[in-house]
Amino acid sequence: MINYVNANEFLDQSERIPVIDVRTPKEYCQGHVPGAINLPLFSDEERVVTGTLYKNSGRETSVIRGLEFTGPKLAGFVKQMHSLISGKELLIYCWRGGMRSESMAWLFDLAGFQVSLLVGGYQAYRRAIRVFLTNPMKILILGGNTGSGKTRILKALAESGEQVVDLEGVAGHKGSVYGGLGMPGQPTTEQFENDVHYALRKFNLANHVWMEDESRSIGSVNIPGVLFDQMNQAPMIRVETEREGRIDRLVEEYSVFGAEAIKEQTGRIAEKLGGANLKVIHEALDKGDFHAVVRLVLDYYDKSYEHAISRRKGREIHSLPLTGNDTRLHAMILLGYLDSIQPCQFMSYGNSLS
C-alpha cells in the first residue's frame, strides 16, 4: 500500500528513510532534496521525447512511448533499489507527484517495499521551503574584515553546541574573488536554497542562529531574498583582529594554490586595484612574496567592507577586539561577550535573544 504524505511529513521522514528522486539527471542536478538518490525513470533525452509527444500528440501517445522506454528497465530498478538501501522503507518524489513517481511507487510497492509518495512532488517541496524561510529567525551575524578568521570561529561555535549555518560552506565558495580556490565547485542557486533550508530546519528557531556577514551573492549563488532581508536587519558582532595576523592567515590559506592561480583570480579585480598595483602584485607573485600581495589586495577589500558596513544604517553593530590566533578561545570570548549584552539591547525582529 502506497502512503501519500505532504512536504513537511516527507522531510520529517527523510531523516530516517532513504529518499528516491525519479526525475531525470538534469532535473536532479538543478535542485533536489538533500541526500536524495537519483534513480531516473527517464533519461534526459527520453524525457524530452515523451514531453514533446504529450504536447503534440496527446497523453495516450506519450504514455505508450514512455512505457516503451521504461518497460525493459523495471527489473533493473528493483535490483538497484535492493543494492542502494538496506531496509524496506523508501520515500519517492518526481516533479509534480504525477505519473513518474506514481509509476515507480507502484513498482516498488509490488516488489515489497513500504513506499511513501510526496504529494505535489518537488514543486510542493520548493513551496514548503519558501514558506519556511519567511519564519522570523533570531539571526546573529558574525562580521569582520577579510582574514579575521570568521569561518574558523563559526566552526568553533558549532563545535561548542551553537546553532551555525556556514553559508560559504554550503555555497562552496568563500565569497571573495579568490573564494573558489580549493573548493569543490558550487551548487545551483536552487540547490543552495535547498541545502540552507535543510540546515535551518534542524534548529530550534526560538534560539539564535549564527551566520557570517555576506553580500547577497556568494560566488555564483544568491542567498534567498527573504533570508537576506532578515540577515540585513539582524544584529552583528564584528570581530576586530590585528592586520598582520589577518595577512598571515590569508597567506597561509591561499599561497598553497600557487602564483599563477592567484594572478588569474586577481585579474578579475584588476580595474578596481589599478594598473600600478596590479603590476606590483604580479612582480611580488613572481618572487613568491605572497605577503606583499595580500597587503595590497587587503587594502581594496578593507575599503569595500567599510563601505558595505556604512550602508547598513539602523543595524546594531557591536565591535569585539580579538588578539592572537586561538580560534576556540575567540569563540569562547565571543559567547562571553554575547552574554554580557543586555537582552533589551540586542534585538532581532522585535524578539530578545534566547
3-class secondary structure for 81-130? HHHHCCCCEEEEECCCCCHHHHHHHHHHHHCCCEEEEECCHHHHHHHHHH
Residues 193 and 252 both lie in one domain: yes
Residues 161 and 102 both lie in one domain: no
Q: What is the pLDDT of residue 348?
A: 43
Residues 184 and 210 both lie in one domain: yes
Q: What is the pLDDT of residue 354?
A: 37
Question: Residue 56: which domain range?
Answer: 3-130
Residues 106 and 192 both lie in one domain: no
Asked if pLDDT for residue 82 goes beyond 80, the answer is yes
Residues 175 and 301 both lie in one domain: yes
Domain boundary among 111, 130, 149: 130
DSSP at 311:
T
Q: What is the pLDDT of residue 313?
A: 67
Q: What is the pLDDT of residue 314?
A: 63
Question: Rounded mean pLDDT of 63-84?
Answer: 90
Neighbours of 292 (CB within 10 A): 17
Structural domains in the chain (count):
2
Asked if pLDDT for residue 341 goes beyond 90, the answer is no
Residues 89 and 217 both lie in one domain: no
Residue in the structure block whose three cell numbers are 536587519: 233
Domain boundary among 91, 110, 130: 130
What pTM did the predictor assign? 0.91
Residues 169 and 72 both lie in one domain: no
Q: What is the pLDDT of residue 349?
A: 42
Task: Indicate which residues carry an active-site annotation.
Answer: 94
Domain boundary among 130, 159, 190: 130
Question: What's the CATH number where 71 sits?
Answer: 3.40.250.10
Residues 159 and 254 both lie in one domain: yes
